[in-house]
Amino acid sequence: MRHYAKEYRTMSQARTETQKMLAEMVIRLLTDLDGFEIRHRRLAEATPNRLALWPALAAQGIIGAAFSEDAGGFGGKMRDLSVVMEIIGQFLVVEPVLAVAICGRILASAGYGDQLPALIAGERILVFAHTESFDPFSLPVTMAQPIDGGHRLSGTKFAVRHADLAHGFVVTATLNGAATCFLVEAGAPGLQYDHFRMIDAASAATIHFVDTPAKFLADEQVVQEALLWSMTGLAAETSGIINAVNRATFEYLRTRKQFGATLASFQALQHRAADMFVGAEEVRIMTSRLIEAVDDGAPLRFKLASATKVLTDDVGRKIGHESVQMHGGMGVSDELNISHYLRRLAAIRAELGSADIHRARFALINEDSRDVA
Amino acid sequence: MLLEESRELAEFRSEVRDFVRKNLPEDIAFKGRFGLEFDKSDFVRWQKILRAKGWFAGAWPKAYGGADWDLEKQLVFTQEAVLNDAPPVILYGVSMVGPVVFTFGTPQQQARHLPGILSSDIWWCQGYSEPNSGSDLASLKTSAVRDGDSYIVNGTKMWTTEAHWADWMHCLVRTDREAKAQRGISYLLIEMNTPGIEIRPIITIDGQHHTNQVFFDDVRVPLENLVGEEGGGWTIAKFLLSNERVGIADTGPKLKLLSNIKKLFDMVEGSPTVSEFTKLSFRQKLADVEIQLTVLCALEQEYVKMWAAGGSKEGPHASVLKIRGTEILQRLAEIALEIAGPLGGAHDPSDLHLPAFINFTEAQRSSMMGHQYLYSRCWSILGGTNEIQRNIIARSILSG
């Protein structure tokens, strides 16, 4: 596994020495704690513990990778978070690393940096309750009403990932005709949950809000940036999955024999493997460009984010399916990790807008602004 | 159905539809309508109803208790029953072992095995694939060595669907290590409660237990359970393969899935908050896949008609149906998840076992589509991968 960590480094989004150390530390931790069999057994239980890794992730400062050192964190750039998300993808981690990172960044942007230490320490879990329909950038139907110096929210958020694990939610809602976001405690009045399981073994809930008390956090600009951070995190996760899937598939082709020859000797399969490599390269490099654009606040970051979601969804689908197919029967067994990667990729496609939605956004979006023309 | 068929077939189709709608038990129909998992008892109950009507072993000759249906009638029945929410007929007994036994078996074997198959009281599974013999089936290693009036069977079978429900297995074993791969294979019937057999469940990508690995440790099988000649197993396997062809495109479940996806889309279509662009893009995708499915149905009708008229089953045609059928199923399921939007990521394997007659939540409804998506990935692998099917086509069009 040590040699594997080295090999991984060359593929990673890590650039600085600190980021490379971070990557190696996360890989080491997850290799020890969360080998695929352990994860598989844990999540197959009747009531799976989806926070089993949380104390260790907190203790090692990994939750803090999303936050600046001033805030008690370990980095704070999207590239730092992306380094972690790549490995999260690789190890199929279902703990709410991305959700807490996004919510923490929203709190920091809203001037509530004092709330970050509890997040970084793993004591408080916040998740981003945003999704309502197909287009994540459309104005929320969930409405915020000013009342007695505070606000009340009414509406429904669908498939809120990790909802059952959360102490609170950062909820988007429309206020005065614009998207804004609010903090809602999980036990607040007027909340109703429909809990369910996701295709990748994570948990989620559809949450109904009826006059639920909420604290105003931030305006539209932060909401849009938060979507961008989320999409970047998912792109990095996809990139990590794709690398893992390709490595496993190429190894299988090299070793599995049928008709007296390794599968790798069949040219039809060689060409398909070559296409998988091409896709992985596209995803790795495009994701890196998106990370840079987000960290630099480049004007074209919104257009780039849509382009990257299209790419990662399309390539992820293709590689997920190809890897399962080339593994034959073992590919569709629950016992092998390959089909679990396919499942996580399917869940990612259902998050934050489909490839079609983002193709449309890409076509309409101005290059130098987040606004759709 | 967009495609026309002869008056006789159309009449038979409406007869099947009426019968299924009147006679399929409500709870089974509910499961079929929403895609819940059927239990073994559901299959048995429905197959007994069909048997009483004389429609269970429709493809068998009348002399053996069948209805002498030709391939076109078999196709219409299979399609129309499933379209009206019936469970598919389980093939292992009635479509595999039955025809093998009345074609290759002795009168004693026929008397022993055919009644249990016809009554659905004896359940069968198929022992073909092995851990190292998937696509390359002829390399199988499970051995049967003669010892007095028995064979001693050792080895392991993989992807043995419904072995945990089965009373018997029909099985390919190696009886001669010296002979050329195919010629050393024999076809054996093995009773599943014989000492030395162990079944280990294999959970598949959809989180369900359909299939198994079966281990044989010095399992004693009477010589009388050999069907055909020793070393004649490959001939029987090929006979079975050509028998399976009528169902290979499996259009019934696909037409049914399409109609369920359209119902899912109706809810999106009616929603004022969904953009016209999104609706249009779904409409185009649905039209595209419906066209593909219509083309598949046309090919299926055409090929089945050709086979029914005595045309060769050796050509590339069955492989065309297998490839397109599985690809279209996979496409349908992907579109279903896209239409489900954010809930397209919902999937809980236990939802497939929810009781009949309940109101599903939206997440549970999406979960059924999640199951379709995951399970659809199995179809391009099982029963001869799509890669093998492409090899067959290429060989038939490029060689010589």
Condensed to tens digits (0 to 9), the pLDDT of residues B36-61 reads 999 999 999 999 999 999 999 999 99
β-pairing, B168-174 with B124-127?
parallel
Distance CA B81, CA B247 (A): 13
Please tell me whether residues A241 and A299 are part of one structural domain.
Answer: yes
Give the pLDDT confidence score for residue A361 in this predicted structure. 94
Distance CA A150, CA B85 (A): 53
Give the pLDDT confidence score for residue A69 in this predicted structure. 85
Q: CB distance B343–A158 less than 8 Å? A: yes
DSSP structure class, residue B169:
E
Q: CB distance B377–A351 less than 8 Å? A: no
Size of interface A-B (CB pairs under 8 A): 140
Distance CA A295, CA A302 (A): 12
Give the pLDDT confidence score for residue A372 in this predicted structure. 55
Please tell me whether residues A139 and A165 are part of one structural domain.
Answer: yes
pLDDT band at B349 (very low <50, low <70, confident <90, very high): very high
pLDDT band at B249 (very low <50, low <70, confident <90, very high): very high
pLDDT band at A66 (very low <50, low <70, confident <90, very high): confident
Give the pLDDT confidence score for residue B3 in this predicted structure. 83
Pick the last residue of a domain from A174, A199, A218. Answer: A218
Residue A10 confidence (pLDDT) above 50: no
Distance CA A124, CA A127 (A): 10
Distance CA A230, CA A210 (A): 26
Domain assignment of residue A115, yes or no: yes
Please tell me whether residues A172 and A199 are part of one structural domain.
Answer: yes
Q: Is B201 on the interface with A (CB under 8 A)?
A: no
CATH 3.65.10.10 matches B124-232: no
Chain A partners of B362 at a C-beta cutoff of 8 Å? 194, 206
Gap from A329 CA to chain B (nearest CA, Å): 6
pLDDT band at A70 (very low <50, low <70, confident <90, very high): confident
Q: CB distance A138–B275 less than 8 Å? A: yes
Give the pLDDT confidence score for residue B1 in this predicted structure. 53
User: What distance lies between CA A260 and its chain's CA centroid?
Assistant: 42
Please tell me whether residues A267 and A158 are part of one structural domain.
Answer: no
Decide: A233 and A81 in contact? Cβ < 8 Å. Answer: yes
Please tell me whether residues A279 and A326 are part of one structural domain.
Answer: yes
Q: Is B288 on the interface with A (CB under 8 A)?
A: no
Domain assignment of residue A205, yes or no: yes
Q: Give the other-Cβ count within 10 Å of B145's Cβ.
A: 15
Residue A286 confidence (pLDDT) above 70: yes
Pairs from A34-41 (Cβ < 8 Å, separation ≥ 24): A34/A91, A34/A93, A36/A92, A36/A337, A36/A340, A39/A91, A39/A92, A40/A334, A40/A335, A40/A337, A40/A340
Nearest CB neighbour to A198, from listed B281, B346, B361: B346
Give the pLDDT confidence score for residue B2 in this predicted structure. 63
Average confidence score pLDDT of chain B: 95
Distance CA B28, CA B355 (A): 11
Give the pLDDT confidence score for residue B84 in this predicted structure. 97
Which CA distances in Å does B20 have to A106, A365, B27, B86, B294? 58, 54, 13, 7, 24
What angle do the packed helices A338-349 and B362-379 form, to 10 degrees? 140
Q: Name residues whose C-beta falls within 8 Å of residue B318's C-beta, 6 or more positions apart in sequence.
A: B242, B245, B248, B303
Q: Mean pLDDT over residues B224-238, rounded? A: 95
Q: Mean pLDDT over residues B107-129, rounded? A: 97
Residue B291 confidence (pLDDT) above 90: yes
Give the pLDDT confidence score for residue B134 in this predicted structure. 78
pLDDT digits (tens, 9 = 90+) for B298-342: 999 999 999 999 888 888 999 999 999 999 999 999 999 999 999
Enumerate the domain spans of chain B.
Answer: 7-89, 124-232, 248-398
| Residue given tokens 């104005």 in the structure block | A139
Please tell me whether residues A31 and A106 are part of one structural domain.
Answer: yes
Pick the last residue of a domain from A186, A218, A250. Answer: A218
Total tally of structural domains belonging to chain A: 3
Please tell me whether residues A254 and A349 are part of one structural domain.
Answer: yes
Which chain B residue has its CA at the smallest distance from A132's CA?
B342
Nearest CB neighbour to B345, from listed A138, A342, A346: A346
User: What distance lies between CA A368 and its chain's CA centroid?
Assistant: 26
Decide: B170 and B97 in contact? Cβ < 8 Å. Answer: yes
Distance CA A155, CA A159 (A): 14
Distance CA B400, CA B394 (A): 11
Decide: B67 and B50 in contact? Cβ < 8 Å. Answer: no
Gap from B218 CA to chain A (nearest CA, Å): 26
Nearest CA to B143 out of B154, B133, B151 is that of B154
Q: Is B356 on the interface with A (CB under 8 A)?
A: no
Burial label for A12, CB within 10 Å (0-12, 13-18, 19+), is buried
Chain B partners of A197 at a C-beta cutoff of 8 Å? 346-348
Least confident of A277-286, B87-96, B123-132, B241-250: B241-250
The domain that holds A352 is classified in CATH as 1.20.140.10
At B27, which amino acid appears?
D
Residues in chain B: 400
Its ipTM equals 0.95
Decide: A200 and A161 in contact? Cβ < 8 Å. Answer: no
Domain assignment of residue A350, yes or no: yes
Nearest CB neighbour to A196, from listed B159, B277, B363: B363
Chain A partners of B381 at a C-beta cutoff of 8 Å? 324-325, 328-329, 331-332
Chain A partners of B382 at a C-beta cutoff of 8 Å? 329
Domain assignment of residue A370, yes or no: no
Nearest CB neighbour to A325, from listed B139, B362, B381: B381
The CATH classification of domain B248-398, taken from the options 1.20.140.10, 3.40.1260.10, 3.30.365.10, 3.40.50.150: 1.20.140.10
Domain assignment of residue A254, yes or no: yes
The domain that holds A76 is classified in CATH as 1.10.540.10
Decide: B12 and B73 in contact? Cβ < 8 Å. Answer: yes
Please tell me whether residues A296 and A356 are part of one structural domain.
Answer: yes
List beta partners, residue A144: A153
Q: Give the other-Cβ count within 10 Å of A153's Cβ.
A: 28
Distance CA B119, CA B189 (A): 18
Q: Do domains B7-89 and B124-232 have the same CATH topology?
A: no
Distance CA B55, CA B50 (A): 5
Decide: B96 and B170 in contact? Cβ < 8 Å. Answer: yes
- At the topology level, CATH places domain B7-89 in Butyryl-Coa Dehydrogenase, subunit A; domain 1 (1.10.540)
Domain assignment of residue A372, yes or no: no
Distance CA A256, CA A235 (A): 31
Chain B interface, best mutation among A197, A257, A263, by max B CB count within 10 A: A197
Give the pLDDT confidence score for residue A1 in this predicted structure. 40
Give the pLDDT confidence score for residue A2 in this predicted structure. 41
Give backbone dihedrals phi and psi of A174, rounded to 5 degrees, phi first.
Answer: -90, 130
Q: Mean pLDDT over residues B343-350, rounded? A: 97
Residue window 303-332, chain B: list those with CB within 8 Å of chain A. 330
Pick the last residue of a domain from A218, A236, A270. Answer: A218
H/E stretch holding A216 reads strand A203-218
Q: Name residues whose C-beta falls within 8 Å of residue A209's C-beta, 6 or more positions apart in sequence.
A: A142, A153, A154, A155, A156, A157, A171, A184, A190, A191
Residue window 102-141, chain B: list those with CB within 8 Å of chain A. 129, 132, 134-136, 139
> Which domain range does residue A69 map to?
2-124
Residue B213 confidence (pLDDT) above 90: yes
Structure tokens at A208: 């109904």
Q: CB distance A356–B347 less than 8 Å? A: no
Please tell me whether residues A22 and A45 are part of one structural domain.
Answer: yes
β-pairing, A191-197 with A203-218?
antiparallel
pLDDT digits (tens, 9 = 90+) for A347-365: 999 999 999 999 999 999 8
Q: Mean pLDDT over residues A180-192, rounded? A: 97
In chain A, what percentage of residues exceed pLDDT 90? Answer: 87
The domain that holds A210 is classified in CATH as 2.40.110.10
Domain assignment of residue A157, yes or no: yes
pLDDT band at A9 (very low <50, low <70, confident <90, very high): very low
Please tell me whether residues A180 and A98 are part of one structural domain.
Answer: no
- DSSP codes joined into one string, A57-109: HHHTT-GGGGS-GGGT-S--SHHHHHHHHHHHHHTT--SSHHHHHHHHHHHHH
What is the model's pTM? Answer: 0.95
Domain assignment of residue A371, yes or no: no
Nearest CA to B161 out of B201, B122, B212 is that of B212
Which CA distances in Å does A283 have to B84, B124, B182? 44, 47, 46
Give the pLDDT confidence score for residue A87 in this predicted structure. 96
Chain B partners of A237 at a C-beta cutoff of 8 Å? none
Give backbone dihedrals phi and psi of B9, rounded to 5 degrees, phi first.
Answer: -70, -40
Q: CB distance B346–A328 less than 8 Å? A: no
Please tell me whether residues A350 and A313 are part of one structural domain.
Answer: yes
Give the pLDDT confidence score for residue A106 in this predicted structure. 97
Chain B partners of A354 at a C-beta cutoff of 8 Å? 338, 341
Q: CB distance A268–B273 less than 8 Å? A: no
Which CA distances in Å does B289 have to A58, A363, B295, B327, B368? 47, 25, 10, 10, 19
Which chain B residue has its CA at the smallest distance from A195's CA?
B363
Distance CA A345, CA A323 (A): 12
Decide: B192 and B149 in contact? Cβ < 8 Å. Answer: no
Q: Mean pLDDT over residues A49-55, rounded? A: 97
Pairs from B258-263 (Cβ < 8 Å, separation ≥ 24): B258/B286, B258/B289, B258/B290, B258/B293, B258/B332, B260/B35, B260/B336, B261/B286, B261/B332, B261/B335, B261/B336, B261/B339, B261/B369, B262/B286
Please tell me whether residues A179 and A237 are part of one structural domain.
Answer: no
Distance CA A284, CA B323 (A): 32
Gap from B14 CA to chain A (nearest CA, Å): 38
Residue B398 confidence (pLDDT) above 70: yes
| Residue given tokens 């606000």 in the structure block | A151
